[in-house]
Structures are given as C-alpha cells and as structure tokens.
Amino acid sequence: MPGRAGQDTYWQMKLREDRLQMRLDRLSEFTVPGRPWTRRAFTERYAAARDWLQNEMALAGLTTRVDAGGNLIGTLEGREPAHGILASGSHIDTVVDGGRYDGILGVVAALEAAQAIAESGKQPGHTIEVIDFLSEEPSDYGVSCVGSRAMSGNLPTDLLEYTNPSGERLGEAIRRAGGAPEKLEGPLRGKEELAGFLELHIEQGRVLESTGTQIGVVTNIVGIRRYEIVVTGRADHSGTTPMNLRQDALVGASRIVERVNAQARELQASNGYLVATVGKISVRPDAANAVPGEARLTLEVRSDSEDRLAGFLDPLLGWAEEAVCRQDALQIEVRRLSATHPTDCAEPIVDTLAASAAELGFSSMKMPSGAGHDAAHMARLCPTGMLFVPCLDGRSHCPEESITMEDALNGARVLTRALLALDGTAPKGAVPGKS
Ligand code: HGY
Ligand code: MN
Ligand code: MN
C-alpha cells in the first residue's frame, strides 16, 4: 500500500521490485548445497557472494572498496562531501541452516535505495554509503559483528587473537577478507565523518505480523553477553567405568543448561526482559562408548538492561560451584567471549523513520529489538536507527524464515524516504542527534 507519491515520485519510480527480488534471490543462492541457507563468513562461498555483490554495487554506479575491517562499502558521491556520509547496510553472512533474509535484505535494500537515488538524476547532498558488514553472526572465531566492531573501534586487539577450530587467528581471517588487522587499534571512521546510519532488517519475531503492522521502528537494541563455559571431568571407557566412579562432564553441562533456563525464567518474571540460551555445545572425546571428559558450552545472555546482564553470571556460578563442582567432582572454567551494551536508537532518527513510514502511508509501531545488529555498534559513531519489516510466523535463524516481496519493498521505500529526509534536513553541524 504505497501512499502519497507527490514530491517523492522521482525516486519511487526508480525503486525496482524486480531488481530487489533478483538480488535477494541471487545472493541467497550462495549457500552450502543441501543446507539452505548457509553462508558462513570467511568461507570461499561467502567470498564469492561478496564478489558478486561488489560487482552489483559497481553496476549500480557506486564506487567500491573494502575497508581495514573487511567491510564492503559502495559509495555514491554527494554534492557536499562536508555534510558527512549517510550510511545504510547490514550483513550477508548467515548462521548455519539460517534464513534467506536475515541480513541480506538490509544490504540489498540499501543498494536499491542508493541506485534509485542515483538513477533519479538528483545528486544527494550527503554522500551515501552502502555497507556490507563483515561477519555479523557469531563467527567460528567466537566473535560476532566483526566488521561493525572494527569500524566503530569496538574490536579490542585481543579478539584478533581468537582462533577458529582449525587454529586460524581472527586477524588473519580479516586479512583474507580484504581487511588490514594491523589498522584496527581504533575506530576506522571519525565521528565527524558519518551523519547517520540506518539499517533495515526483518523483525525476526512475531509482533508486526500479529498486530498487522507494516513497519517497525526500533527504539532500542538489546545488549548481549557471551561466555564460554568449559566443564572438565575425566574421559573413561563407557563399559568398564561404574556409574559411581564417573566424572561425566556432559552430565554437569546438562545441569548447567537446565539451570540457565530456570534462572532466566525466574529473572524475567521478577525483573523484566532477560533471556539466556546455551545454543552451542561440544563434547570430548565425542564417542558413543566414552564417558565425556570435557564439555564446552556457549552461554548467551540478552537484556535491555545493563544491570540485568551483569547480574546473571555470578549466581549461576555460585550454584554451579556446589551442584556441579562439588557434588559431581567436575571443574568449571568461564571465559567472557564478548559483550555489547543495550543501545538506544537516536531519537531524531526514530522520528524520521516513523514520519517516513507515515508519509508513505504505512502503519508503523515503535519497538525494541531482541536481536543484535551491526547498528548497535554503529551507534557509537553516529546517530543510528533501524526499521523492521514483518517475517512469516516470526521465524528466523531457521530455513523457514520468509517475507513477502511487498514487505521487502515497503521497507526499502521507507529506508529510501528516510535517507532523503535526512539528506534534506541534516547538513553537517545540524545532524539530528549529533552535537
Ligand atoms: O544474534 C543475533 O541477534 C543476530 O541475529 N545476529
Ligand atoms: Mn541473525
Ligand atoms: Mn541479522
């Protein structure tokens, strides 16, 4: 249901559903055969998808480069470079067996917006950048949002030493992706460089669909802490080791999984939004006939409150000291993998997105994001906002994830309208939310 055309007609005419669809289809085809949709960062398939995308950016009239953080950036020059850059984008990597639209919609829609603006023949005042951030999903190196962390100066150099299961350092992987890890000691962009950042994403939940709302305007992005918990016992023969003599690490780990779930339920009920998940586990020796000697878990905690995030681990470890270490004769080691803070979107950007949706005749609602996003890191650099479109049955991070092209196009329209609104009203020094 596109609304009034009026003064926006010139770019709306250029926003092309067929091109948006073609790019979504082509990008999603870069997947591990038989495992839709799997395009893990740092793999050859991911590199091939990025080569394709870089070429599409060039065909759209953008100049392209890969920055030191391994981010692929397409640039449409503005009339007034001093006004700063309006940037938009997301990521094209997926979780294993993930969805078709998580990430790529935001990249493809940003490219469509930039191309429509370029083809409208009216050069924007601000330079517009389309960004495909490197490795947003938790990577095999234990770090997520690698590119947006690097860009915003939130990739401490010790994270570059993290290794994947084959022993490759994250820093080397970033170099393979075209980056320059030796340049990642501080933010890659100065605060004055960027006038604003917008990210379009699928909602990944059910709120928009269940309320029949076309556009979600994000007010806050959840904070996320991830920890690795290693439970160590003793590997033994499963047939010859009596039950009372075992130090089974997986049994201890399973108690921890249950406790994480119970503690999160209690806290959520009494304290407000907090979710906690053990979504990854590996066991050694990992054999049907061996008592597990080691179990490695990844614990992830999310909340919109820094205090709730900070308060989760200690009670869990206090409980584990007695229930797992003492009673089951196991050891536990914990390592913090990463932490992002709950992040508010910039109010003037929230207002611009809501106004853009209304001007185009779309229903919208303000809502928090329970998913993490590159936008949370970009908010360190410049006024940042996000918009959501509905996804079928709220499914995401699974192959069933689906959206309608109508919703995809609606999102691209609001994104483009908002970029133009910011372009028209946000010269340097008077950028909304920027002091
Ligand atoms: O993990 C997240 O919240 C995001 O989908 N990467
Ligand atoms: Mn995701
Ligand atoms: Mn995503």
57 domain-assigned: yes
pLDDT tens, residue by residue, 392-420: 999 999 999 999 999 999 999 999 999 99
In this predicted structure, the answer to whether residue 6 has a pLDDT above a threshold of 70 is: no
Quote the pLDDT of residue 427: 35
Sign of CA dihedral 178, 183, 186, 192: negative
* Rounded average pLDDT over 187-211: 96
In this predicted structure, the answer to whether residue 3 has a pLDDT above a threshold of 60 is: no
pLDDT tens, residue by residue, 258-315: 999 999 999 988 989 999 999 999 999 999 999 999 999 999 999 999 999 999 999 9
241 in the same domain as 151: no
43 in the same domain as 64: yes
Ligand 1 close to Cβ of residue 136 (< 6 A)? yes
Q: What is the CATH classification number for the domain harbouring 261? A: 3.30.70.360
Ligand 1 close to Cβ of residue 411 (< 6 A)? no
Last residue of a domain, one of 340, 365, 393: 340
In this predicted structure, the answer to whether residue 425 has a pLDDT above a threshold of 60 is: no
Average pLDDT along the chain? 94
Last residue of a domain, one of 340, 356, 389: 340
366 domain-assigned: yes
* Rounded average pLDDT over 39-47: 98
Last residue of a domain, one of 305, 340, 375: 340
Quote the pLDDT of residue 177: 98
pTM of the predicted structure, to 2 decimals: 0.90
User: pLDDT band for position 424 (50/70/90)?
Assistant: confident
In this predicted structure, the answer to whether residue 434 has a pLDDT above a threshold of 50 is: no
155 in the same domain as 13: yes
pLDDT tens, residue by residue, 76-92: 999 998 899 999 999 99
Ligand 1 close to Cβ of residue 300 (< 6 A)? no
230 in the same domain as 348: no
Ligand 1, atom 6: nearest CA belongs to which residue? 137
Q: How far is the CA of 137 from the centre of ligand 1 (A)?
A: 6
95 in the same domain as 174: yes
Percent of the chain with pLDDT over 90: 91
158 in the same domain as 37: yes
Ligand 1 close to Cβ of residue 367 (< 6 A)? no
2 domain-assigned: no
Ligand 1 close to Cβ of residue 374 (< 6 A)? no
Q: What is the CATH classification number for the domain harbouring 187? A: 3.40.630.10
Ligand 1 close to Cβ of residue 231 (< 6 A)? no
User: pLDDT band for position 431 (50/70/90)?
Assistant: very low
User: pLDDT band for position 69 (50/70/90)?
Assistant: very high
Q: Which domain holds residue 252?
A: 224-340
pLDDT tens, residue by residue, 112-151: 999 999 998 889 999 999 999 999 999 999 999 999 999 9
* Rounded average pLDDT over 71-75: 99
251 in the same domain as 377: no
Total domains in the fold of the chain? 2
325 in the same domain as 391: no
Of the listed ligands, the closest to the CA of 386 is 3
156 domain-assigned: yes
268 in the same domain as 161: no
Atom of ligand 1 nearest to the CA of 145: 6
103 domain-assigned: yes
